[in-house]
Each structure stands twice: as C-alpha cells, then as structure tokens.
C-alpha cells in the first residue's frame, strides 16, 4: 500500500509553487511609452534630462521613455547615467536617489540623438538621466592617417631623421 503522506506533500508543493508564481501573472503595470523632449546641455559633452534640483520625470512601472537629445544628433555616446528616486524632489534634504541598474533602468538604445530607457519593474519611480558624449575632436576623423608621420614624438625615441652631430 502506498503512503498517503507523499500525495499530501506533493499536492502541497504544487499548490505552493502555483500560489507563489500566480502573484506575478496578472501584470499590475502595463507597458507604455513616453517621449521626453526637454533637457539641456550641462557643457559641450554632457546632457541632463532635468537639473538635480528640479522635479524629476515620472518613471512608472513598465514605462519606456525616449529622451530626445536634438543638440547631440551626431555625437558618440560614452555613458548613460540613469538616476532613480521614489520622490520627484530629491534635493530637499529628505528624499534620496541612486544610480539605476538592472531591470529598474534598462538602457535599450543610446544613439542618433536619443536615449531610450525602460523601467522593467512594476515600481513607480522618478528619473533623471545624464548622458556623456565623446569630446569633439579638432582632427577630422574621416581623414586618412599619415603613415609617414614621425612616431618618435609618441614613444620618446629620437627621430630617425634627426641629425647626429
């Protein structure tokens, strides 16, 4: 005869697994999108969505936000720094904020004058984004390099054509 305790334990295990995963099934945050076209340059190589002491943008759960960076259309993005907080005014000495990572701030794209970030959680947050760009070079990057240039300047060795007296 089989032991009925195993049937009870198996049924209890299945019920526990079903109960713990079913709470995640009905999404309380539906995916949505928003375009944010405000923001400004801090300097020639840095853009921010809002200043640190201004109210931050809503970043509700499931939201994908595209930040428009019209002044940086052709610039190469070096870093995207998404900061998140539970409050809109974080610089009041009461609330705090942190650098977002993981599912909270999924950086989907950073190119061609825009940055797209998704809140992959169901947490309702607020966001501030800082984007840093590679410096504008004085040298035309499309010009071919001169293979005959003297490399001694780079490695500190004496130039081959420097005369010896």
> Please, what are the averages of pLDDT over each run of 10 residues along the chain (165 residues)?
54 45 54 92 95 93 95 93 93 84 95 94 96 77 45 42 48
**37 within domain boundaries:** no
Tokens of 108: 């989907």
Other beta carbons less than 10 A from residue 121's beta carbon: 17
Q: Is residue 90 part of a domain?
A: yes
Contacts of 160 (CB under 8 A, 6+ apart): 150, 152
Question: Has residue 87 been placed in a domain?
Answer: yes
Please check whether residue 22 lies inside any domain of the structure.
no
> Coil, strand, or helix at residue 43?
strand
Domains: count for the chain: 1
pLDDT of 16: 42
52 part of a folded domain: no
Q: Does 118 fall in a domain? A: yes
Instruction: Provide the pLDDT for residue 90.
Output: 85
Residue-wise over 13-25: b if at least 16 C-beta within 10 A, else e? eeeeeeeeeeeee
State residue 142's pLDDT score. 53
Statement: the pTM of the whole predicted model exceeds 0.75: no
In this structure, what are the phi and psi dihedrals at residue 22, rounded to the nearest 5 degrees?
-70, -25
Rounded-to-integer distance, Cα 106 and Cα 64, Å? 9
- What are the φ/ψ torsions at residue 157 (nearest 5 degrees)? -80, 160
H-assigned helices in the chain: 4-22, 152-155
Range of the domain at 99: 82-133
Instruction: Kindly state whether residue 99 falls inside one of the protein's structural domains.
Output: yes
Closest CA to 82 of 129, 39, 141, 142: 129
Q: Is residue 35 part of a domain?
A: no
């Amino acid at each position: 005869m089989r032991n009925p305790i195993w049937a009870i334990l198996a049924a209890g295990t299945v019920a526990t697994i079903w109960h713990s995963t079913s709470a995640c099934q009905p999404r309380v945050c539906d995916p949505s999108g928003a375009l944010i076209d405000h923001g400004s340059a801090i300097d020639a190589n840095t853009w921010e969505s809002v200043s640190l002491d201004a109210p931050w943008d809503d970043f509700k759960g499931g939201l994908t936000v595209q930040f428009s960076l019209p002044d940086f259309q052709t610039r190469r993005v070096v870093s995207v720094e998404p900061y998140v907080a539970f409050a809109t005014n974080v610089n009041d000495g009461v609330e705090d904020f942190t650098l977002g990572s993981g599912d909270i701030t999924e950086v989907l794209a950073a190119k061609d004058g825009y940055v797209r970030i998704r809140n992959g959680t169901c947490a309702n947050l607020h966001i501030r984004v800082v984007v840093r760009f590679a410096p504008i070079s004085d040298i035309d990057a499309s010009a071919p390099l001169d293979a005959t240039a003297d490399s001694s300047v780079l490695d500190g060795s004496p130039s081959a054509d420097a005369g010896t007296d």
